[in-house]
Structure 1
Amino acid sequence: MSQDVKKYLSDPRLASYLEYTKNNLEDALELYRLNLRLVGAFFPLMSMLEVTLRNAIGHQMNNIFPDQGKGDWIEQFLKILADIKETETYIYDPFTPDINKVKKAIKKDVRDQEKILLKEELQQDKNFKHLSHEEQDKIIESKLDKEKRPDLEKKIARKINDKNIIISKLTFAFWCAIFNPDVYGTIFKGKVIEIFNFNNLAEKKEKNRETISLILNNIRHFRNRAAHNEPLIFYKQKLDLQRGELILQNIIEVLTLLSEDLKKYAEDIHLVKRHLQTIEEYCSEVKKLTV
């Protein structure tokens, strides 16, 4: 069984585990399994962090950019970025393409949903049911673009202009970039950091953009590795469980900065420490056997 599992996981993916276990496949696969469990243990915390952080930033953006007939904060933010880019030689702007990408995805989702509903409606026609999939798709697309176009455009416009839908689909990288120096001072006037209460921390830290940016980007890089099932327990081909402990600490820190209640709430939704302990114990046994 082990050889078959190795074949499907691939040699490159198992390379770090095999190197650590001195090519003992059984130990390498068990270590890989433990790493997957660690990944799973981190995701509830990361999910909670992402949701609470984006909501906190969103609320603060409403204060920084009150509507007052100028549109919601997303519209105002995009306009300010566009104006700056007309006069400045360079400004770091991942925001405009990210928001446009989300709007494009929303438009596709709405259209796909309408296609499903229309197909169900047309399936009542026996002649339609006997057509090939390609012919059915052509009829559906034609009806959407002609008969259903006004209603479809209204639905799309309503959803792509709903800031709550857009906010829910923006990536964690988007929210991390809010603390980039290019926009933090010039556009947000340093007000975004007010979502954090540094008095909540037992170990006091300086209240500044750099502190938050460093912590969030550390979490983001780790999160990306977890999302691709990369080894969280190795760093530069060496066993490193301290990094996992540091990221756990970083996540808890951000939740604490937002609210002490969030920190307490998060304590019961993860088993990261238990999995790190299990991995440490297993690695100790592996080392004894491979010496």
Structure 2
Amino acid sequence: MDRKAIERIFSEERLEPYVKHHGGDFENAVKHYKSNIKISEAFYPLLSILEVGLRNNIHGQLERRFNDKNWFENPEFIKLVTRFQVDKITEARNAILREKKEISTGKIISELSFGFWTSLLDSKFEPSLWKNIRFAFPNCPKNNRKRKTMSKKFNGIRKLRNRIFHHEPISWNLAALLNYENEMIEGINWLDKDLISWSHDLINTKEIIMNSKTLIR
């Protein structure tokens, strides 16, 4: 494809940061853009395992806390949370109904956004929910199993996840990308001691990142 066609399909505005990063070298900018796609793709297994594992582990703990598999509808839970969480639950329910599917516990849990789950790690819930949610991280050393630590880690990962899922650039800093990989691996390990070894054959993030090291400084 020639430059005009590439800029028409992907837009000059989207490509501009890459062109600037490479001092106007359009060929390297396009290579970098492609690498960004490959790196984003490589993070998917880690993000998928972490997000699904996090929500199911928290779900299990809140089911125990309220003695109710539909804890997200439980009046005691509703009293504790903010409008943000209530709205997210409503959005999840409406999304299921729009697809003309029957509402079930599992469908609600899977439909709730990653932002909903990480919001339950907010400081507001330290006195009420954290004492139960902390057990969602059974393999985390006790000295690290702090609400603030979990909130910082999983919200940081959420921000990267959102950039990836919105097709935004993430590949400006090699060390930062490798750090994100380490953060995700540690987070997954905290959810279950065997989860990383189980998913080993799915994870090639570091290899993909290192293949792009000539483009990423």
Same fold (TM over 0.5): yes
Query: Match for residue 31 of structure 1?
Result: 32
1:260 pairs, out of 187, 193, 200, with: 193
Runs of 4 or more, structure 1, over 6 Å off, are: none
- 5+ residue gaps, structure 2, are none
Give me the TM-score of the superposition, normalised by structure 1. 0.69
Matched, 1:169 2:111: yes
Question: 1:4-153 maps to which residues of 2 (within 5 A)?
Answer: 4-67=5-68, 72-76=70-74, 79-80=75-76, 82-83=78-79, 92-110=82-100
Letter in 2 for 1:217: N
Deviation at residue 206 of structure 1 after TM alignment:
2.5
Counterpart-to-counterpart distance in 1, 2:166 and 2:216: 23
Whole-Å Cα distance in 2 between the matches of residues 46 and 24 of structure 1? 32
1:268 Cα offset (Å): 1.9
Structure 1 residue 92, shift from structure 2 partner? 3.9
Residue 243 of structure 1 is matched in structure 2 by: 176
- Answer yes or no: is the 8 Å Cα contact 1:81–1:93 preserved in 2: no
Alpha carbon RMSD of aligned pairs, Å? Answer: 2.0
Which digits, 9 at most, give the CA deviation of each residue in 1:79-119, with x for residues without a partner?
Answer: 235545xxxxxx64421101111111211211xxxxxxxxx
Q: Name the structure 1 match of 2:167.
A: 229
* 1:271-291 deviation digits (Å, cap 9, x = unpaired): 21111111113447xxxxxxx
- Alignment match, 1:192: 133
Q: In the aligned structure 1, how far is the partner of 2:179 from the partner of 2:95?
A: 35
Structure index of larger Rg: 1
- How far 1:189 moved relative to its partner? 5.0
8 Å contact 1:35–1:231 — kept in the other structure?
yes
Residue type at the aligned position of 2:147: R
- What runs of 5+ residues in structure 1 fail to find an aligned partner? 85-90, 111-155, 235-239, 285-291
Tell me the distance in 2 between the aligned counterparts of 1:164 and 1:278: 39
Give the drift of 1:72: 2.7
Deviations 1:188-221 (A, max 9, x none): 2521111213556xxx852210000000001000
Deviation at 1:41, TM superposition (A): 0.4
